[in-house]
Each structure stands twice: as C-alpha cells, then as structure tokens.
Amino acid sequence: MVTTEVHPLSPAMLPDRFRLPVYCILLLLLCLGEHPARAYPQVPDHEQEGADIRGVVTDSTNGERILGVNVMIKGTGRGAMTNTQGFYIIPNISPGTYEIVAGAVGYVRLARKVTISGQSPVSLDFKLTTRVVEANEVVVQSEGTTSLTARSASIHIVTPRDLQRLPAVGQQDLLRSLQMLPGITSTSDVSAKFYVRGGAGDQNLILLDGMKIYNPFHAFGLFSVLDPDIVRSAEVYTGAFPAGYGGRLSSVVNVTTKDGNLSKVSGVANVNFLSGKLELDGPIAGDNSWLVSGRSSLFGSSINRLIPNPAPTTFSDLFFKGTIGTSTGRIGFRGYSSSDDVEPAASDQPNHSWRNSAYSGVLSALMTDRLYMDASVSYSSSKITRIAKPGSPVVPASSSLQEMDLKAEVTAFTDDQTTYFTGFSFEFPQIEDNIGAITPIHIKESEVEWYAWFRAEGEWGPVRYDLGVHSDIMLLSSGGPLLQGLQPRLTLSFAVGGTWIAKASYGVFTQKLITVSNEDDLISLFDAWLYLPEALRPEVARHYVLGIEGNILGPLATSLQVYAKSYPSLTVYNQAKIFPEDPDYINGTALAYGAELLLRYGSPLLDLYGSYALSKVTLTQEGFSYAPRYDRRHTIKAVATIHLFEGLDATLQWEYGSGYPFTQSAGFYDRLLLSSIGVDPFPGGTPVSTRSLGDKNAARLPAYHRLDAGITYSLLVGPFKGNLGLSVINIYDQKNILYFDRLTGRTDYMIPFFPTASLSVEF
C-alpha cells in the first residue's frame, strides 16, 4: 500500500479549486526569486553599453506618487512614463551628462542633470510642484497626458482637478463626472449607472485600487460610493482596453487612490446638502503613510427633492489605506465598506439594503534591475437585500456575491525600450441568490476564473504599438473558441505630423457575470449578479476603434474617434418567453457603432471642453431587432470654466442628449381569452379591451438637456484652506422625463431646479 504524507502547509491540503492557483503563484515566485533572467527577455550584460536611469516621481507637497509623468531625456527623444507607483525606468543610457525633464498635467515641469559614467543604475527621483501653487497656467495637452493616452485609442485620464470644476448635485462624484466624457451616458439624472458606447450597464469593470466594486452606488444610484477626495486618478477605457483587463465587455474604470500625506497629518472635512465627510491622512515614519476617509448621509430630505416617490434614505462609506515604503518597493493594504438603506413608509413597498466591502493587500517592488512586480490579493463582497413588510405582496429576496482574487503582474524593461507585461489572475466568485418575482428561488454557485496575459509595448519605426493577449484559461480548457479564449488586444499609434497622432485599436472581450435586472427597468434597485446559465454561451464583444488627436491651434486640442463594437454573443432578455420552462435569458447579438469628437481649449482665463457623440446600437434576438433603452443617438456636452481671479472659478455645464427609445401605446384591441377552449373550441366569449403597444422601442422620448452652474472659491486662512462651492442644477428648470405611466398618464421628471452648496476645509 502506497501512502503519501502531506505537509500541513502543502497546497495539497487546499480544496481543489484553490490548489492550481497556489501552485502557479509559488512557481512564479520561485522563478522571480531565483531565475529572473530566464523568464523575461533581457539584453545580456556584455551587450549593455550604458546604465539605467530609474526613480520615482512624487508630489512635492505631500509625497504622493504621481501616475503618468513623462520623464524624458532632453534632446534624445528617449524617455519613460511612471506607473501607478510613480516608478519609471529609462534603460541603457550611454555614458555622458544629460538633462532629464519630468512633466505632467497640473505640475510644473522639472529638469535635473545626471551624469552616467558606468553601467550601474542611476537613481533619479523627482518632486514636482503643482501648478496651482506656482502659476495660474493651464495645460491642455501635456507630454504626460499624451503618453498615457497613446496607450489606447479610447482612454481618458480623470484627475481630482477635473472633478472639482464640475457643478455637482450636492457633492462631487466620480462616476457621475465620467458621464461628461464622450461615449458615456446615463439614462437618468438620478442614476450614476452608466452605459459606454452602446454597452449595457453591467459591462463596466470598476476597480478601486485593484479591488472590484460590484454595486458602486449610493441613494438609488444618485451618486457613487467613490469619494472623489481620495482619488488620485482614474483611468477610463471606453473601448479596446489592453491585456490585463478582462471579464467585462465595454469599459474599465480603474481608480487609484491617494497613499496619504508623507509630510504631515492633513485632512479634508466637507459638508453639503446630502452628506458630511472627513478624510485624514498622514505619515507614520519614514516612507510610510495612512489614509482614512468616512462619509455619511446627513439630510435625507434633500435626496427626497431629487427623486420621484421619495423614501427615507441613509448611506455611509468608509475607506482606509496603509502604505509601507521599502527600499525596493511598497507594501500596502486597503479596505472599503459602504452601506445603504431605503425604507419607504408605504406598507406595500419593501425596504432595501445594500452592503459592499472590499479589502486587499498589495506588493509593488523592483525585483531586479529590470523587473518590476505588482501582486495583490483582494476580497470583494456585495450584498443586496429586499425586505418585505408584513402583509406586502412583495416577496423578500437577496443577492450576495463574494469574490477572492489573486493577481500578479511583472513588468520587464528592455534595452530597446520595449516594455513587457505578463501576469495572471485567479478569481473565485461565490454567488448566492434568493431571487424570483413571486416565489424565491435559491441559487448558489462557486466558480473559478483564471486569466493569464502577455503584453508588449514599444516602438517599431514610427509606429508605437501595444499588443497582447488576455487569455481566459477556463474558456480555453473547456474547448471554447480560440479567439475568445486568447482575446487578442492591439493598439497602434503613430505621429502623422506636428502634434497629431493617429490610432487604431482592436480587442476581443468576454463576460460571464451578468446582472439579472431587466434592461427596461427605469431604476433597478435589485441588481443581482448571476453567472451565465450553462445553456448560454459567454458574452463576447469585439471592439474596433480608429482615431486621430492633436492640437488645432496652440491650446485648442481635439480628438476624433470612430468605433464599431460587435457582440456575436450577448445575453438578452427573452422577449418571447411564454412558458415557465422558457428561459428568462437567451443568446442574442448586437452591433454598436458611432463617432466621438472632443475639443478642449485652455488659457489662463478660460477652459473650454466640448464633445459630441454619435451612437447607434441595435440588439437582435430570434430575428427581431430593436434599440435598447440606453441607445442615445446624439449627445453634446459642454463645460466652460472661467478663472475669475486667484481661487475663484465659475463653471457652466450643459448637456444635450437626443431622446432615449421607448415603446408607444398604439390604441387598444379586443382580446379573447379563450379560457374555455378545451370545452368549447370556438372563438367566442366577450372580448377584453386591451391596450396595444407599438413596435418595441420604436419611438423616442423628447431630447434631454440641462444647464448647471457652479462657483468654487478657495482661500487660505492660516494652515487651513477653505473651499466653498455653490451650484445651481438645472438652471432653467427643464422638465426632462424620467417616467411616464401609460395607464394613468402620470409623468415624473428628473432633477428640477436645485441650488446646492458645499463647504470643505483642508488642513
């Protein structure tokens, strides 16, 4: 008899679904720790002629690491861009003396001289000073921004500076602000749920420091759970996102938070018509920092003014983060939790509660001279509960999603300035739903998702490329189509003269997690996540993007993009469902295409932002095609910010959107029930006058438009900086239709004329 002794700490002791990921992680760590040169392409030492220049770029006022800083060697055309940890590396620089320039949006460009004399790496850090402090100059298209946006044809970088300027309903909000970007729309003022380039609302991946956030909304979706004061930057991919991101079909919002002030204890206290909050951060010792931010609803009555059929609403959220700096990298941990409760007074309306949380530990480190590693373990949880009141016809329901993710990515820098990224992620979602409109059904499922990716970013002559594959290993191992399993991603960009850059992107994406809400719902309170039923194929999208961007006249920058997004497999609501055994969802197809024009102008006195988006999306199921509820044909967005004088900005924001589709009533018809057909097979009986509907979503609501205005005033009082914001939402009180009840004729409208104010104090 053969026996095998298992060590108590052996992966063999783990459940089956965890064993493979742990083996892979151990293998990667062994490779990185002992034989890094075997794993990644490097120029052998004897061919290396010079030394590497590397370092980190930080904010001079608080020590925050800065993402997307372009670090260039003056006169050589060589350079690099900082990653999320502010790290950069310019490899293999020949001996000599160079001037290195670092610049980014909102910061004063800084130049430093360095002398290379051998082959040992040279460390060169930069501390950039914000422009707000130094000068009142506005940069529209900086080198840093260009480098970042060159990575993808459809990426937008949103900074706190962008958020602060927009008029806000009560308080600034990241996801709502994103809706000012071309290609992103929302179906109502009272929902931060967004739709990107014809994609459904569940096709957007939202990451907070790498942690997945599944239901990122407060107060019916009036605003998101992402506190803008903790945001360092947000990368928003509206299409063709690169390898390393997967599991969603339409977009990625990758939010990076601040680490915390490394110089002193600082904070922000804010109070507005909806909530109050406090954020504190500071150093511990050396290169270590902490940050805590909490927010809570204060005035439920304000929310009630904004939402038809109001209900007592309370919410809160908490975010904390700790970062430990080491000689070669950083170790961090962060946590987030949010809660929402809606408790209507009416006895027939159920209460709802939402609970979200996420925690993660991350490691970012320079493993060798040319290898940089990011690894993380994270846990995300989201639970929605519908609580029925005694005697109510509504049945209770709940949906819980818990997910553990293990992720690691290694970045390798080479002499020819090609950067390689490779990594993997294991995801262990667990879903437990008690759903059903009348009788709850219980669904409990555990899945394992394994992705591995490889990506190369570099230059080939005049062409800058970013190509890779994002492999869905589970799909490949189950015999899925090769293209969907490999998921190629490609972006090409090249300078066409002056500041003009042309781009082209392509990508294949899959998604297996969907929300079970009806896409026709006006406001979906119960967005339960569900794995695709086995009978359905995974959702698949292919993105094609062409674009050109550059400066027309000095500070006037523009970008034009055309895109097509085909969905050869998309999960759609089964319109033909009649029998219980008919599925709620079936496979359909969709096609979305459009064009987006963006204009930005900056001067010391005036900032202008304008965009126009043309979009069309068509869903098809069983040979029947229709426009989904979020198909908006024309969208115009415009923002003008006037810098009246130091610390005082005034902003006007206007948005126009052509009407969303809806189904018209088309009179009535006489309906025979034929309920006694088995006894009397004759088309008799008294007809029931029944309202008939026109073709699905064939008509359009009136156009949406709204003008907002805001004034922000900042002043320094000793160690305190005060920010006073006054906003007026919907200045001309436009009646934008939110809901029309075709039976009663009642119409509800979106946010009316609504003045708000906020006060924050920074110290």
Partner 1 sequence: MNRHLAPWPVLGLLLALPACNQPFEPDGPSGDKLVVYGILNSSIDTQYVRLSTTYGTPPGSEIRDAVVTMLTPDRGYVAFRDTTILHINAQGNLEQLNVYVAYPCPVSPGSAYTLQASTSLNRQSAEAAIHASASTIALAPPALFLRNQSPPGREGLKPPVLLTSFQSLTGYCEIHLYLEFYALVDGGWELHSTEVARDAFVDGTGNEVLVYPGLVLVRSLAGSSVAVPVLFDTLQYSNAMAKAAEKFSAAPLAWLQGEFVVTQIDSVLYSYYYANNGPADLSSIRLDRPVYTNVANGFGVFGSCARVVRQFRIGN
Nearest-approach distance from CB 512 to partner 1, in angstroms:
19
Contact yes or no for 424/451 (Cβ under 8 A): yes
The H-assigned helical ranges of 435-584 are: 473-477, 482-486
Task: Verify binding: residue 393, partner 1, rule CB under 8 A.
Answer: no
Nearest-approach distance from CB 131 to partner 1, in angstroms:
21
Beta strands, E only, 209-264: 211-212, 217-218, 223-224, 231-237, 251-257
Compose the 402-441 pattern: x for residues touching partner 1 by CB under 8 A, - for all others: ---------------------------------xxxxxxx
Exposure on the CB side of residue 639, measured as CA atoms within 13 A: 24
Give CA separation, 685 vs 674, 675, 679, in Å.
Answer: 7, 9, 12
Torsion of the alpha carbons at 64, 251, 277 and 333, rounded to the nearest 10: -50
Report the alpha-carbon distance of residue 194 to residue 205 in Å, rounded.
11
Task: Verify binding: residue 84, partner 1, rule CB under 8 A.
Answer: no
Query: Assign residue 297 a region: left if phi > 0, alpha if psi is -120 to 50, beta otherwise?
Result: beta
Report the alpha-carbon distance of residue 752 to residue 172 in Å, rounded.
18
Task: Verify binding: residue 461, partner 1, rule CB under 8 A.
Answer: no
Nearest-approach distance from CB 398 to partner 1, in angstroms:
14
Task: Verify binding: residue 674, partner 1, rule CB under 8 A.
Answer: yes
Judged by beta carbon, residue 64 or residue 189, the one nearer partner 1 is 189
Nearest-approach distance from CB 636 to partner 1, in angstroms:
10
Task: Verify binding: residue 14, partner 1, rule CB under 8 A.
Answer: no
Among 381, 385, 517, 653, binds partner 1 (CB under 8 A): 517
Nearest-approach distance from CB 576 to partner 1, in angstroms:
7
The one-letter amino acid at 329: G
Task: Verify binding: residue 678, partner 1, rule CB under 8 A.
Answer: yes
Kindly give the pairing relationship between strand 397-413 and strand 371-387.
Answer: antiparallel
CA 238 to chain CA mean position, Å: 9
* Token pair for 499: 């500041």
Judged by beta carbon, residue 115 or residue 675, the one nearer partner 1 is 675
Task: Verify binding: residue 625, partner 1, rule CB under 8 A.
Answer: no
Nearest-approach distance from CB 41 to partner 1, in angstroms:
51
Nearest-approach distance from CB 605 to partner 1, in angstroms:
6
Judged by beta carbon, residue 118 or residue 678, the one nearer partner 1 is 678
- For 631, residues 6+ apart whose C-beta sits below 8 A from its C-beta are 198, 615, 616, 617, 618, 660, 661, 697
Task: Verify binding: residue 624, partner 1, rule CB under 8 A.
Answer: no
Nearest to 346 by CA among 305, 372, 312: 312
Judged by beta carbon, residue 286 or residue 694, the one nearer partner 1 is 694
**What is the chain's percent helix, strand, coil content, to nearest 5?**
10, 55, 35
Give CA separation, 63 vs 33, 157, 419, 555, in Å.
Answer: 30, 21, 27, 30
Tell which positions 725-744 bind partner 1, by CB under 8 A. 731-732, 734, 737, 740, 742
Task: Verify binding: residue 680, partner 1, rule CB under 8 A.
Answer: yes
Task: Verify binding: residue 642, partner 1, rule CB under 8 A.
Answer: yes
The one-letter amino acid at 542: R
Judged by beta carbon, residue 78 or residue 705, the one nearer partner 1 is 705
Contact yes or no for 495/461 (Cβ under 8 A): no
- Give the DSSP H/E element, type plus range, for residue 306: helix 300-306
Report the alpha-carbon distance of residue 464 to residue 237 in Å, rounded.
18
Nearest-approach distance from CB 247 to partner 1, in angstroms:
23
* Token pair for 30: 């062994």
Among 486, 652, 711, 728, binds partner 1 (CB under 8 A): 652
Nearest-approach distance from CB 216 to partner 1, in angstroms:
22
Task: Verify binding: residue 679, partner 1, rule CB under 8 A.
Answer: yes
Judged by beta carbon, residue 469 or residue 737, the one nearer partner 1 is 737
With CB under 8 A as the rule, give the number of residues binding partner 1.
68
Nearest-approach distance from CB 558 to partner 1, in angstroms:
22
Contact yes or no for 48/458 (Cβ under 8 A): no
- What are the residues facing 609 on neighbouring strands? 600, 639
Task: Verify binding: residue 669, partner 1, rule CB under 8 A.
Answer: yes
Nearest-approach distance from CB 537 to partner 1, in angstroms:
21
Task: Verify binding: residue 518, partner 1, rule CB under 8 A.
Answer: yes
Task: Verify binding: residue 687, partner 1, rule CB under 8 A.
Answer: yes
Tell which positions 547-576 bind partner 1, by CB under 8 A. 575-576
Judged by beta carbon, residue 449 or residue 655, the one nearer partner 1 is 655
Measured in degrees and rounded to the nearest 5, phi and psi for residue 198 equal 80, 10
Task: Verify binding: residue 750, partner 1, rule CB under 8 A.
Answer: no
- What are the residues facing 613 on neighbouring strands? 596, 635
The H-assigned helical ranges of 96-207 are: 131-134, 143-149, 160-165, 174-178
Task: Verify binding: residue 264, partner 1, rule CB under 8 A.
Answer: no
Choices 103-111, 137-145, 380-388, 691-699 (CB under 8 A): range interacting with partner 1: 691-699
- Give the DSSP H/E element, type plus range, for residue 661: strand 661-662
Choices 460-468, 503-511, 564-572, 648-656 (CB under 8 A): range interacting with partner 1: 648-656
* Token pair for 591: 């096609």
Among 27, 135, 496, 644, binds partner 1 (CB under 8 A): 644
Kindly give the pairing relationship between strand 449-460 and strand 463-472.
Answer: antiparallel
Task: Verify binding: residue 755, partner 1, rule CB under 8 A.
Answer: no
Contact yes or no for 448/478 (Cβ under 8 A): no
Nearest to 568 by CA among 550, 587, 593: 587
Task: Verify binding: residue 23, partner 1, rule CB under 8 A.
Answer: no
Task: Verify binding: residue 702, partner 1, rule CB under 8 A.
Answer: yes
Among 14, 346, 552, 672, binds partner 1 (CB under 8 A): 672
Judged by beta carbon, residue 107 or residue 601, the one nearer partner 1 is 601
Task: Verify binding: residue 718, partner 1, rule CB under 8 A.
Answer: no
Task: Verify binding: residue 398, partner 1, rule CB under 8 A.
Answer: no
Residue with tokens 């900056």: 602
Specify the DSSP class assigned to residue 659: P
- Angle CA 548–643–278, to nearest 5: 95
Choices 60-68, 109-117, 317-325, 656-664 (CB under 8 A): range interacting with partner 1: 656-664
Task: Verify binding: residue 17, partner 1, rule CB under 8 A.
Answer: no
Q: Which residues bind partner 1 (CB under 8 A)?
A: 435-441, 516-518, 575-580, 582, 584, 605, 642, 644, 652, 654, 656, 659, 664-687, 689, 692-694, 698-699, 701-703, 705, 707, 731-732, 734, 737, 740, 742, 745, 747
